[in-house]
């Protein structure tokens, strides 16, 4: 059944998801601030950072269940097939994390390969045990969130995220008040408690649309077998894994660049500011997928909303980057010195248009996922990563630019490479859709 979308209906679908992303953006800094106020803060912050990084790597294969569920989990047969697939995938990532905790694997990995001290490694180990439920809870939560988005109920997704933040905060407060747990373990336990609570809440909030999906037996399954589903999802699973490789490599190059200390100090502040705007764009792909699934006649309004959103986000960050607000943000709000402020402004101006590119590539990915062509999504991410590494290496070796400015240029040009590459498969999909419609 087709359904005509409007800019207003897309906005109603988008803004609760945008709020969800903003709520998730405060999670990390919030827990880090609590850990910093506990005993042995440096050791525990370091251990928490390492444990969190392991958690991100472990959860990467389940991240794209949100997009897959938004695209597929509406009819009975696709819903049941994807649910079983999701449960199996979540079990596998949990087993992988459990494997990392085997002493014969964990000790060489942390002390020999990563060079952690025995004290920090012990804190990481305890934190990872407490994070054991996290990847599976993330996966099932994203599966049920996709079900809600597919049925145009994004407000319930935001409610689930609010439950997550409240549960995480309550757990952190109780452990801080009553428990002798070290800071890294407190952070890990709070994360797990929050995500498990969110997964359970989202499942409960989705109960009615699940019943609706199970009752939709008239349409043929989009994915005819588990083999077809695996071919659809495997490239999506690789995309976050490739993306996760970018940050540590960029950090390595910053440490070997011109003005390395200043660049390493500025980069987290710059990233936090740009993420506030990018988060609003990261919420758009699932909106576009859900709207396109309602009928290909919606592709023009989906594109129009993407253009308006890109202009708004790029314009909003540009308003800070190219006006005296940049000094207010870096000096007054972030507390950077005058020297660091002067170094931070040029890369911010380079990155000012990055939120618009986030919306653009999200739109392209939505078109391809809706069409079942997921391999180009992964190839574009790989091309972007290779572009970032190559451009940054050249700039660090052969230019006198500060490292943070080189990184900003590399991020921007790498994203443009990915966008240009995706133009070809997107044009192919849209051309085929036009033939079907006419």
Rounded CA gap, 118 and 99, in Å?
Answer: 20
pTM: 0.89
Contact between residue 240 and residue 63 where contact means Cβ atoms under 8 Å apart: yes
**How far is the CA of 318 from the CAs of 10, 327, 373, 414, in angstroms?**
25, 13, 34, 20
Check residue 438 and give its pLDDT: 35
DSSP state of 333: I
* Burial call 52-73: b when 16+ CB within 10 Å, e when fewer: bebbbbbbbbbbbbbbbbbbbb
Condensed to tens digits (0 to 9), the pLDDT of residues 360-412 reads 999 999 999 999 999 999 999 999 999 999 999 999 999 999 999 999 999 99
Residue 91 tokens read as 């079990």
Rounded CA gap, 134 and 96, in Å?
Answer: 12
Condensed to tens digits (0 to 9), the pLDDT of residues 41-83 reads 788 888 888 898 889 889 999 999 999 999 988 788 889 999 9
Residue 155 tokens read as 């407000």
Bridge partners for 211 per DSSP: none
Residues 6+ apart with CB under 8 A from 191: 27, 31, 52, 55, 131, 134, 168
Condensed to tens digits (0 to 9), the pLDDT of residues 114-144 reads 888 889 899 999 999 999 999 999 999 999 9
Locate all alpha helices (DSSP H) within 64-206, ordered by sequence: 65-72, 76-100, 103-107, 118-130, 134-150, 154-178, 183-205
Looking at per-residue pLDDT, the higher value among 167 and 111 belongs to: 167
Condensed to tens digits (0 to 9), the pLDDT of residues 237-255 reads 999 989 888 988 888 888 8
**For the chain, what is the radius of gyration of the CA atoms?**
22
Residues 6+ apart with CB under 8 A from 272: 29
Among 68, 66, 80, CA closest to 210: 80
DSSP conformation letters of 255-300 = HTSBSHHHHHHHHHHHHHHHHHHHHHHHTHHHHHHHHHHT-GGGHH
In this prediction, residue 218 has a pLDDT band, given cuts at 50, 70 and 90, of low
Contact between residue 56 and residue 24 where contact means Cβ atoms under 8 Å apart: no
Condensed to tens digits (0 to 9), the pLDDT of residues 326-371 reads 999 999 888 888 999 999 999 999 999 999 999 999 999 999 999 9
Among 297, 291, 278, CA closest to 12: 291
């Amino acid at each position: 059944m087709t359904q005509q979308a409007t800019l207003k209906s897309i906005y109603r679908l988008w803004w609760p998801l945008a709020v969800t992303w903003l709520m998730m953006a405060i999670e990390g800094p919030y827990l880090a601030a609590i850990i910093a106020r506990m005993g042995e803060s440096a050791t525990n912050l370091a251990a928490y950072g390492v444990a969190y990084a392991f958690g991100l790597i472990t959860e990467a294969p389940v991240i794209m269940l949100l997009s897959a569920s938004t695209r597929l989990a509406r009819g009975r047969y696709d819903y049941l097939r994807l649910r079983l697939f999701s449960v199996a995938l979540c079990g596998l990532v949990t087993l992988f994390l459990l494997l990392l905790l085997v002493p014969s694997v964990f000790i060489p990995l942390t002390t020999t390969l990563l060079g952690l001290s025995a004290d920090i490694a012990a804190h990481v180990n305890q934190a990872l045990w407490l994070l054991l439920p996290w990847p599976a809870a993330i996966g099932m939560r994203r599966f049920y969130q996709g079900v809600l988005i597919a049925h145009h109920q994004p407000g319930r997704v935001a409610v689930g995220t609010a439950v997550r933040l409240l549960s995480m905060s309550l757990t952190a407060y109780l452990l801080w008040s009553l428990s002798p747990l070290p800071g890294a373990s407190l952070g890990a336990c709070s994360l797990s408690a929050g995500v498990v609570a969110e997964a359970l809440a989202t499942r409960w909030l989705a109960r009615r649309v699940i019943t609706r999906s199970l009752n939709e037996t008239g349409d043929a399954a989009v994915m005819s077998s588990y083999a077809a589903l695996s071919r659809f999802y495997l490239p999506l699973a690789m995309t976050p894994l490739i993306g996760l490789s970018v940050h540590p490599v960029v950090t390595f190059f910053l440490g070997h660049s011109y003005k390395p200390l200043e660049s390493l100090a500025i980069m987290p502040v710059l990233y936090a500011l740009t993420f506030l705007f990018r988060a609003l764009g990261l919420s758009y792909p699932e909106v576009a997928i859900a709207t396109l699934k309602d009928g290909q006649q919606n592709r023009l309004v989906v594109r129009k909303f993407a253009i308006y959103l890109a202009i708004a986000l790029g314009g909003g960050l540009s308003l800070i980057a190219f006006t005296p607000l940049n000094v207010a943000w870096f000096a007054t709000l972030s507390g950077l010195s005058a020297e660091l402020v002067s170094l931070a402004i040029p890369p911010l101006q380079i990155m000012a248009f990055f939120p618009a590119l986030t919306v653009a590539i999200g739109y392209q990915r939505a078109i391809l996922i809706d069409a079942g062509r997921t391999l180009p999504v992964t190839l574009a991410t790989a091309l972007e990563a290779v572009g970032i590494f190559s451009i940054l290496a050249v700039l660090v070796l052969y230019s006198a630019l500060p490292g943070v400015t080189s990184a900003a240029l590399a991020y921007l040009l790498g994203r443009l490479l990915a966008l240009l590459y995706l133009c070809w498969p997107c044009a192919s999909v849209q051309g085929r859709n036009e033939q079907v419609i006419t």
